[in-house]
Amino acid sequence: MTHTLDNFSLERRRLLKTGLNAGLLAGAASILPTWALGADKGNLGLPALTGTNFDLTVSKFPVRINGRTGHAVGVNGTVPAPLIRFREGDDITLNVKNTLDVDTSIHWHGLLVPFEMDGVPGVTFTGIKPRQTFQYKFSVPQNGTYWYHSHSGLQEQSGHYGPIIIDPKGVDPVKYDREYVLVLGDWTFTDPHRIFAKLKKNAESLNFNQSTVGNPMGLGGMWGAMRMSPNDLADVTGETYTYVINGHSTADNFNMVFNPGERVRLRIINAAAMTLFNVRMPGLPMIVVQADGLNVRPIETDEFQMGVAETYDVIVEPTEAKAFAFVAESIDRSGQVVATLGHRPGMRAEAPKMRAVPMLTMKDMGMDHAAMGHDMGDMASMKKDDAGDMPMDHSKMGHDMGGIDHAAMGHGAMAHGSMSHGPNPNGPSVQIPKIEADIEVGPGVANVAAVPTARLDEPGIGLENVNHRVLTYSQLRSLDPNPDTRAPEREVVVHLTSNMERYMWSFDGVKFSEVTESIKFYEGERVRLTLVNNTMMPHPIHLHGMFFDVVNGGGNHMPRKHTIITKPGEKLSVDVTAEHVGDWAFHCHLIYHMHAGMMQVVSVLPASKPRMSDGGMDHSKMDHSKMDHSQMNHDAMGGTK
């Protein structure tokens, strides 16, 4: 059953009207905006509000979640913050008033705003001081589902996040009869600073799925020898968090309504602080139509893993008059939140049983099957075809893994010159200049992945063996042809590094507090950014101000993302067009990883400025982490002044 455009517009208008009335009736009972309320409280789909002026007030206020009262830091008194919806290309003004005792900020996640409007204290502006009102003004050349959040302290964990919808200037290629926005969160009644302090004191203390006598994988063998845990899927778990959708726990039941046969668009935003979610709707296939705000070729799937800060728009077409569950399960399966899509307001779908908790494998350590010798019988489930991805000389790596000499297995022993990249269908056939720091094991770096592998074709930790379809990054194709199809001129390699035991997180072994020089891109250039994950956790990596063209074999339809999950032991590449001059934050979107130091700045320098020649310097031989910058003649490098 399909509607003509006119028909469903009419119907939407009708629904809106009833929605508004019901909203007024329920208004006294709840302080949430209508779009975040259940259908039983009058939310029958999103209102098509557009505006150009928004007044936002940041404050501390009480909230009621899962039947318990807590304290939030947020915008206009609600968690999530108000939906900001406007039209592509419009000039937008947002007045943000800070009524807190501390600084605040708002970052417009994924929006290509001028950098001084990007909202990162210390990088793009000074932050919004107490009792100050800061005016953001911008227009953006894009449409889709995005979100906004604080970039100050740990406010995001306390509820300072909300959705953005930018309606396209022209006709939306995505057709739907009804839409909802689902903002996923990991709410806590604990002070976020206490959570961080606990992680620093005892990094495993919030994990209640540790190895035991009955489940001893992490105690002995390679895991015990290396003091790594195969159970470390999430630093902060369901013990601490109440997982929420639009501020509703499973018990609060965020319920949506549909008429059988309708195309329902779900705009899903992972606004959690620390939680990757597995999203599925049992019995209802989802057609993914958008990822990170940009349209993708529709692809039908049954489940996908969603990194913090990623967004996915899906279309579902339920024909049966029944209540479907929308399930967001935390990656470590310590908890989940269930919402309902039913044919009547107020329905409650049955929550599925929690699935078995997955464990990490040696591959997540960046140790390839082929290189592991013969003592890895328990790793039989690992895919063997990855051995072909990395044309490295395994004979140089030493097959005696019993000794576990990481220093010898690290990059030092692998001579960068002899390492070629994995085969890349889009990339140039000649080696391009590369900047890569030498990573050494030390207090902040517990592991250097010996054999990082290509994992874009994998669904994510714990979803390898489910008996239905799971989306992978390698399946995504941009709906529109890529605006820039040039081959990259230069490669910048960034290593994701950590020591879980000390709860230290960094890029290239250098914490943000220790950074003395930003990563330099040059206006107009096409850069290949390669991420190598030497840690045991997946990291949603976000670069402000530009999109990642994910090098996934998509030709000139590579998916373009603002945030990409880098799996444990993975090496992946994205191509970036450095268009927007400015200093842009670059960080892991897991808030406590960022807080611990997993952050950098990418400076896109104007083309008019002189540029450091890469030909003259062999960066691959340079150890950037140990460079004494105070001794360097920065004038000779140009650019920064």
Partner 1 sequence: MRALILLKTSLVALLALSASFTPALADDNDTPPWSMADEYWGEDAMKAARDKVQHKHGNLKNYMIMGDRLEWQDTGGDGTFLWDAQGWYGGDIDKLYIKTEGEYAFDDSEFEDAEVQALWSRAVSPFWDVQAGLRYDLEPKGRTHAVLGVQGLAPYWFEVDAAAFLSTDGDLSARAETEYDLRFTQRLTLQPRAELNFSAQDIPELQIGAGLSSFDAGLRLRYEIRREFAPYVGLEWQKSLGDTADLVRADGGDPDDVLAVIGIRAWF
Residues that bind partner 1 (CB under 8 A): 115-116, 120-127, 153, 197-198, 200-202, 205-206, 208-214, 219-220, 224-227, 404, 441-446, 499, 501-502, 504, 506, 511-518, 581-583, 594-597, 599, 601, 603, 629-630, 634, 640-641
The Cβ of residue 350 has, within 10 Å, a number of other Cβ atoms equal to 11
| In the complex, least distance from residue 208 CB atom to partner 1, rounded to whole angstroms | 5
What count of Cα atoms within 13 Å lies in the side-chain half-sphere of residue 314? 25
Per-position DSSP letters for 554-618, written without gaps between them: -GGG--EESEEEE-TTBEEEEEEE--S-EEEEEEESSHHHHHHT-EEEEEEE-TTS----STT--
Structure tokens at 122: 């210390």
φ, ψ (nearest 5 deg) of residue 477:
-130, 135
> What are the angstrom distances between the C-alpha of 45 and each of 37, 40, 265, 311?
10, 12, 10, 19
The Cβ of residue 537 has, within 10 Å, a number of other Cβ atoms equal to 24
Looking at beta carbons only, is 129 or 396 nearer to partner 1?
129
Q: Which helix (H) or strand (E) holds 265?
A: strand 264-270
Closest by CA position to 268, among listed 252, 249, 287, 251: 287
- Which residues are within 8 A (CB) of 641 and not within 5 positions of it... i.e. 6 or more apart? 634, 635
Looking at beta carbons only, is 125 or 138 nearer to partner 1?
125
Looking at beta carbons only, is 178 or 333 nearer to partner 1?
333
> What are the angstrom distances between the C-alpha of 552 and each of 364, 427, 524?
20, 11, 23
Looking at beta carbons only, is 168 or 638 nearer to partner 1?
638
Looking at beta carbons only, is 558 or 591 nearer to partner 1?
591
Closest by CA position to 41, among listed 358, 426, 346, 482: 346
| In the complex, least distance from residue 445 CB atom to partner 1, rounded to whole angstroms | 7
| In the complex, least distance from residue 447 CB atom to partner 1, rounded to whole angstroms | 8
CA dist., res. 447 & res. 439, Å (int): 9
Looking at beta carbons only, is 64 or 200 nearer to partner 1?
200
Question: Any bridge partners for residue 164, and if so which?
Answer: 84, 146
Beta 264-270 vs 504-507: how paired, if at all? unpaired
Looking at beta carbons only, is 176 or 196 nearer to partner 1?
196
| In the complex, least distance from residue 90 CB atom to partner 1, rounded to whole angstroms | 23
Looking at beta carbons only, is 473 or 503 nearer to partner 1?
503
CA dist., res. 79 & res. 160, Å (int): 7
Structure tokens at 565: 């999950």
Going by the DSSP 8-state scheme, the letter that residue 200 receives in this structure is H
What does the radius of gyration of the chain's CA atoms come to, in whole angstroms? 24
Burial 500-534 (b: 16+ CB within 10 A, else e): beebbbbbbbbbbeebebbbbbbbebbbbbbbbbb
Closest by CA position to 590, among listed 332, 335, 271, 364: 271
- Which residues are within 8 A (CB) of 500 and not within 5 positions of it... i.e. 6 or more apart? 203, 204, 228, 229, 232, 446, 535, 536, 537
| In the complex, least distance from residue 185 CB atom to partner 1, rounded to whole angstroms | 22
Burial classification of residue 194, based on how many CB atoms lie within 10 Å of its CB (0-12 exposed, 13-18 middle, 19 or more buried): exposed
| In the complex, least distance from residue 68 CB atom to partner 1, rounded to whole angstroms | 18
Looking at beta carbons only, is 487 or 622 nearer to partner 1?
622
Closest by CA position to 514, among listed 573, 406, 598: 598
Looking at beta carbons only, is 385 or 628 nearer to partner 1?
628
Looking at beta carbons only, is 180 or 512 nearer to partner 1?
512
Looking at beta carbons only, is 264 or 309 nearer to partner 1?
309
| In the complex, least distance from residue 515 CB atom to partner 1, rounded to whole angstroms | 5
Looking at 512-555, which runs of residues are DSSP E strands?
519-522, 526-533, 539-543, 548-550
Looking at beta carbons only, is 180 or 505 nearer to partner 1?
505
Sign of CA pseudo-dihedral 37, 40, 41, 43: positive
Looking at beta carbons only, is 574 or 599 nearer to partner 1?
599
| In the complex, least distance from residue 216 CB atom to partner 1, rounded to whole angstroms | 9
Looking at beta carbons only, is 203 or 257 nearer to partner 1?
203
| In the complex, least distance from residue 42 CB atom to partner 1, rounded to whole angstroms | 41
| In the complex, least distance from residue 594 CB atom to partner 1, rounded to whole angstroms | 6
| In the complex, least distance from residue 434 CB atom to partner 1, rounded to whole angstroms | 22
| In the complex, least distance from residue 365 CB atom to partner 1, rounded to whole angstroms | 14
- Which residues are within 8 A (CB) of 7 and not within 5 positions of it... i.e. 6 or more apart? none
Diameter of the chain by CA atoms? 72
Q: How far is CA 463 from the centre of its chain?
A: 17
| In the complex, least distance from residue 198 CB atom to partner 1, rounded to whole angstroms | 8
| In the complex, least distance from residue 81 CB atom to partner 1, rounded to whole angstroms | 22
> What are the angstrom distances between the C-alpha of 192 and each of 55, 129, 181, 237, 592?
27, 21, 26, 13, 9
| In the complex, least distance from residue 129 CB atom to partner 1, rounded to whole angstroms | 10
Looking at beta carbons only, is 511 or 567 nearer to partner 1?
511
| In the complex, least distance from residue 124 CB atom to partner 1, rounded to whole angstroms | 5
